[in-house]
Amino acid sequence: MTASLLRVFEIGMHWFPERAGGLDRVFHTLTGALPGAGVNVRGMVAGSGAAASDTGGAIASFSRPGATMPLRLVRARNTMREMLAREKPDLIASHFALYTLPGLDLIRGYPTVMHFHGPWADENHAEGVMRAASHIQYRMEQIVYSRCHLHIVLSNAFARVLETRYRVDPSRIRIVPGCVDYARFGSEMDRRTARQALGLPTDRPLVMSIRRLVRRMGLEDLIDACVLLRKRIPDVMLLIVGRGPLEAELRRRVDELGLGDHVRLLGSLPDAHLPLAYRAADLSVVPSLELEGFGLTTLESLAAGTPVLVTPVGGLPEAVGGLSTELVLSSCGPKALAQGIADALTGVIAVPTELACRVYARTGFDIPVIAGMVAAVYREALGMF
């Protein structure tokens, strides 16, 4: 290894945008950005051949995501063995414990950094996985985390989870916040033009929430909040972007509450349209109830110049607190959401300006800034080994 180039083997989950989870987005972003911070990246994910095609062979796909777990684990181990022998990395960086587990003996001789994106077992249990299965997942996580030299987390909130839930020594935890592609989300298109491009009303207050439609995201509360909200702002409209198992239930909820003119579930938007969606809104909301490590959508909204309200859950207050504590709601639930949104839209609370939102996102969280922080942790781990 030269002083200026670090060779790292990255173990991911899926290839973005084949899967649109936060972990996958971060992995995809970092594999593209780390070379600019002096890190030569090779790695593997579960996915189609798109990963190799998109990266010139740097990221291999070891299995289809839908294959049986035993087959995925065998193929993960085989791919890891082949790539480690060929690439001879200086360091291993894991983003997903499951696909790291079958190769623990293969990486024993390497310094290893774990990117902790969240408690995998607890998240699955919150979404309906049986307790026995989630306990097995937890044990898998524990085994992998115990073998890592340093851990990167998105927030102090997740540092506490890693320390208390998984018994990781806090001296081995480093906080590196989420990142945003400012060049992509920082569109300076005016709000009216963005709305016209998406076929949205140009004469109503629009509130946007871009979330996966699962229970812990708090979208039921957000819809219920609209019953209260429209009493103060009669023409308000809530737009929910995303897919997930709750979609049919949420649509029924909208109908049963008579909110058809106030709430629209837009489904998935093409990835290229997301910057327009944030730009079109007067306000974004992240109404999460639990297990929120940072909330990448907060940064995407701020980069677009749109202020974002968050519940006081996990790392969400850390994501926006450096800009304004007024963006953190008093609590979860429909009443707090309705009051916070109404106060922000009517000027009762002073939300940050468009310029302040953009500057905050660009200077603190743009991809090159965060890639440099990650590279520094990698080099620290190498120095410890």
Q: Domain tally for the chain?
A: 2
131/219 same-domain check? no
Cα distances from 93 to residues 39, 54, 148, 176, 366, in angstroms, run 12, 20, 9, 14, 21
pLDDT of residue 118: 86
Q: How far apart are CA 145 and CA 134, in angstroms?
A: 16
71 inside domain: yes
What proportion of the chain, given as a percentage, has pLDDT over 70?
99
- The tens digit of pLDDT for each residue in 170-228 reads 999 999 999 999 999 998 899 999 999 999 999 999 999 999 999 999 999 999 999 99
pLDDT of residue 2: 43
Least confident of 16-20, 72-76, 77-81, 234-238: 16-20
- Note the Cα 266 to chain centre separation in Å: 20
Q: What mean pLDDT, rounded, does the chain reach?
A: 94
Rounded to whole angstroms, the maximal C-alpha distance in the chain is 65
28/110 same-domain check? yes
What proportion of the chain, given as a percentage, has pLDDT over 90?
87
233/95 same-domain check? no
Indicate whether 385 pLDDT > 90: no
Work out the average pLDDT over 101-122.
93
pLDDT of residue 220: 98
SS3 91: strand
170/269 same-domain check? no
Work out the average pLDDT over 363-370.
97
Neighbours of 229 (CB within 10 A): 25
- The tens digit of pLDDT for each residue in 19-30 reads 878 899 999 999
Work out the average pLDDT over 153-157.
94
Closest CA to 45 of 99, 89, 123, 86: 99
219 inside domain: yes
Least confident of 74-83, 93-102, 114-123, 220-229: 114-123
Q: 86 pLDDT band (50/70/90 cuts)?
A: very high
pLDDT of residue 205: 98
Cis amide linkage into residue 17, ω under 30° from 0: yes
Q: 315 pLDDT band (50/70/90 cuts)?
A: very high
Contacts of 75 (CB under 8 A, 6+ apart): 62, 63, 67
1 inside domain: no
SS3 8: strand
291/377 same-domain check? no
187 inside domain: yes
- The tens digit of pLDDT for each residue in 17-71 reads 888 788 999 999 999 999 999 999 999 999 998 999 999 999 999 999 889 999 9
Residue 72 and residue 46 in contact, taking contact as beta carbons nearer than 8 Å: yes
Q: Crossing angle for the helix pair 367-384 and 354-365, nearest 10 degrees? A: 30
pLDDT of residue 1: 41
175/189 same-domain check? no
User: What's the whole-model pTM score?
Assistant: 0.91
State the CATH number of the domain containing residue 259.
3.40.50.2000
Q: Domain range spanning residue 170?
A: 6-179+366-384
Closest CA to 101 of 153, 92, 165, 90: 92
111/58 same-domain check? yes
155/198 same-domain check? no
145 inside domain: yes
211/245 same-domain check? yes
Place of tokens 């005016």: 190
Indicate whether 126 pLDDT > 90: no
What long-range pairs does 357-361 form, CB within 8 A, spacing at least 24? Answer: 357/301, 357/302, 357/303, 357/304, 357/305, 357/306, 357/307, 357/323, 358/182, 358/186, 358/302, 358/303, 358/304, 358/305, 360/302, 360/322, 360/323, 361/180, 361/182, 361/185, 361/186, 361/299, 361/302, 361/303
Indicate whether 119 pLDDT > 90: no
190 inside domain: yes
Indicate whether 143 pLDDT > 60: yes
SS3 152: strand
Place of tokens 């989300």: 185
The DSSP letter of residue 25 is H
- Per DSSP, what are the bridge partners of residue 267? 241
pLDDT of residue 133: 85
Indicate whether 161 pLDDT > 90: yes
pLDDT of residue 254: 98
What sign for the dihedral angle of Cα 278, 281, 283, 289? negative
190/334 same-domain check? yes
232/172 same-domain check? no
166/190 same-domain check? no
Indicate whether 289 pLDDT > 90: yes
